[in-house]
């Protein structure tokens, strides 16, 4: 399958990332709402949510047409601080007018297996009723995926030494021993991430600088090299754009 190149945007500060990202997202929102009447957006948790603060200020976004999904979620009640839903709700969703019925949070009080099965079944219903298109290799296509990265290069809940990142069939999988607490999580898989029309890798701060250096210098590695999860973000037909601040790029020597 043809892979597209990546675009790398560098900014002086995280504030500049927040401003530019908000403009890009509002442009995509307008484009897809005009084309098909709604906009499907997948949110990560973590620092990404705070970087969406400038988006909240946009006056020209038709929030009523947004449909929200979660890239990964911790299998905890939606009301506790560990929940990505709660983080997103407090920091973003509660401040804009997205209908509650358009927010796909995970099922509560079930096991990680059941939560993953349930989320995948709900995505399949959205494919069946044609809300989500299907890629040629059979994965749902979202308009925009907003992806954060942990300091050791994980994305979603797809971690370095854990087999979930090699999943090729499931849309949603689960992990019961996440190296980053809380242990139990569900996550979209790489084939789903890579089927998206637009992937924004939003990566800021000094603590991610080592992983950024590895990720952006991938071709310099030896043949026995195992890629970081973030290096498996590679859209099949869509666009990948990195939004990086100076701190995230601080370990790069000769540019990327």
Ligand X SMILES: O=C1O[C@H](COP(=O)(O)O)[C@@H](O)[C@H](O)[C@H]1O
**Residues counted in the chain:** 256
Asked if 51 touches ligand X (CB under 6 A), the answer is no
For the bound state, the minimum distance from the C-beta of residue 72 to ligand X, rounded and expressed in Å, comes to 5
Which of 22, 47, 164, 196 is close enough to bind ligand X by CB under 6 A? Answer: 47
Backbone angles phi, psi at 178, to 5 degrees: -60, 135
Complex with ligand X: residue 65 or 191, whichever CB lies closer: 191
Q: What is the edge-to-edge ordering of all strands in the sheet holding 198-203?
A: 6-11, 239-245, 198-203, 144-147, 39-43, 66-70
The token pair that represents 50 in the structure block: 């705070």
Tell me 64's DSSP state: G
Asked if 105 touches ligand X (CB under 6 A), the answer is no
Complex with ligand X: residue 65 or 149, whichever CB lies closer: 149
Decide: 37 and 65 in contact? Cβ < 8 Å. yes
Residue nearest to ligand X (CB): 46
Complex with ligand X: residue 51 or 102, whichever CB lies closer: 51
Which positions from 125 to 154 touch ligand X by CB under 6 A, shown as an x/- string? -----------------------xxx----
In the chain, at which residue ranges do the beta strands (DSSP E only) sit?
Answer: 6-11, 39-43, 66-70, 72-74, 144-147, 172-175, 185-188, 198-203, 239-245
Asked if 180 touches ligand X (CB under 6 A), the answer is yes
Q: How many residues bind ligand X (CB under 6 A)?
A: 13
Which of 11, 17, 28, 72 is close enough to bind ligand X by CB under 6 A? Answer: 72
* Angstrom distance (rounded) from CA 144 to CA 138: 18
Backbone angles phi, psi at 56, to 5 degrees: -60, -30
For the bound state, the minimum distance from the C-beta of residue 244 to ligand X, rounded and expressed in Å, comes to 13
For the bound state, the minimum distance from the C-beta of residue 76 to ligand X, rounded and expressed in Å, comes to 11
Complex with ligand X: residue 179 or 227, whichever CB lies closer: 179
Contacts with ligand X, residue ranges (CB under 6 A) = 44-48, 71-72, 84, 148-150, 157, 180
């Amino acid at each position: 399958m043809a892979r597209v190149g990546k675009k790398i945007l560098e900014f002086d500060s995280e504030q500049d990332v927040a401003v530019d990202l908000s403009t890009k997202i509002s442009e995509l929102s307008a484009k897809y709402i005009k084309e098909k009447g709604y906009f499907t957006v997948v949110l990560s948790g973590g620092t990404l949510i705070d970087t969406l603060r400038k988006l909240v200020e946009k006056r020209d976004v038709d929030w009523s047409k947004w449909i929200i999904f979660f890239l990964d979620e911790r299998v905890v009640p939606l009301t506790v601080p560990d929940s990505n839903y709660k983080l997103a709700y407090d920091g973003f969703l509660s401040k804009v007018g997205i209908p509650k019925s358009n927010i796909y949070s995970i099922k509560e009080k079930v096991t990680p297996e059941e939560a993953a099965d349930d989320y995948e079944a709900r995505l399949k219903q959205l494919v069946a009723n044609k809300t989500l298109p299907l890629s040629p290799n059979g994965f749902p296509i979202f308009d925009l995926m907003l992806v954060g990265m942990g300091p050791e290069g994980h994305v979603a809940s797809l971690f370095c030494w854990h087999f979930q990142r090699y999943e090729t069939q499931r849309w949603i999988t689960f992990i019961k021993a996440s190296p980053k607490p809380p242990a139990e999580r569900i996550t979209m898989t790489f084939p789903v991430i890579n089927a998206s029309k637009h992937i924004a890798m939003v990566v800021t701060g000094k603590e991610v600088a080592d992983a950024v250096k590895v990720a952006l210098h991938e071709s310099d590695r030896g043949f026995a090299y195992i890629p970081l999860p973030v290096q498996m973000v590679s859209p099949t037909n869509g666009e990948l754009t990195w939004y990086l601040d100076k701190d995230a790029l601080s370990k790069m020597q000769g540019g990327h």
